[in-house]
Amino acid sequence: MLFIKATKDTLKDLNTTPVAVEATDLLYSWHVNIFTLYRKKHYVFMNDLSRLSLTISGIRSNQSAKLKDIFIDNLKQYLVTEQVPEHLLRYYIENCDEMVITKTDSRSVRSTLNEIMLVMKSLEYDKQGYEDLDQRHKWNNRFIYKPIDYKYPIDVFMNELEKKYKNKDN
């Protein structure tokens, strides 16, 4: 099950009410916040376990029913560019069959999320701005963070996928 932990502004934009959740699998938990980049509304998702971030534009207000499909499609596209093995990607996506939207619950993840949004905002006016999504995602997921022992988020995410699905057949 996929857990989307939305900020108040994001919940308001999606026009949805959060569901109370007691415990989540951190690999399948994503914080999300809304912000403006290149004069467009963007949603920034950040994985709770690995701090992997994914920035998506084009999500309209009141699209909470379509959020899961939009998120999964963008995540798949990005992970393919990172050359995640197909079987790992398939197992991960299979476990995202349902989605629950809840409130944010980690100040640490929110701080890291705000940090990556600040970086993207500062690059917005730079001549080498990353309007290309794949390039932006790769750039964003090559920052090191203290909560993940100063490793790259993409490496932490890949290692967790490999650990979780190591006993599955290829």
Mean pLDDT by 10 residues, the chain (170 residues): 96 93 94 90 96 91 87 96 94 95 95 92 65 79 92 96 81
CB atoms within 10 A of CB 160: 18
Q: How many residues belong to the chain?
A: 170
Token representation of residue 10: 């994001």
pTM of the model as a whole: 0.92
Model pLDDT, residue 139 = 86
- Give the integer Cα–Cα distance in Å for 147 and 68: 27
- Give the integer Cα–Cα distance in Å for 169 and 9: 42
**At residue 91, what is the residue type?**
Y
Q: Are 102 and 108 in contact (CB under 8 A)?
A: no
Q: Structural domain boundaries of the chain?
A: 2-164
Token representation of residue 157: 């995410």
Model pLDDT, residue 65 = 85
- Give the integer Cα–Cα distance in Å for 117 and 31: 13
Model pLDDT, residue 128 = 55
Q: Please, what CATH class does the domain formed by 2-164 belong to?
A: alpha beta
User: Taking CA 112 as the corner, what is the angle to CA 65 and CA 80, rounded to the nearest 5 degrees?
Assistant: 60
Model pLDDT, residue 126 = 59
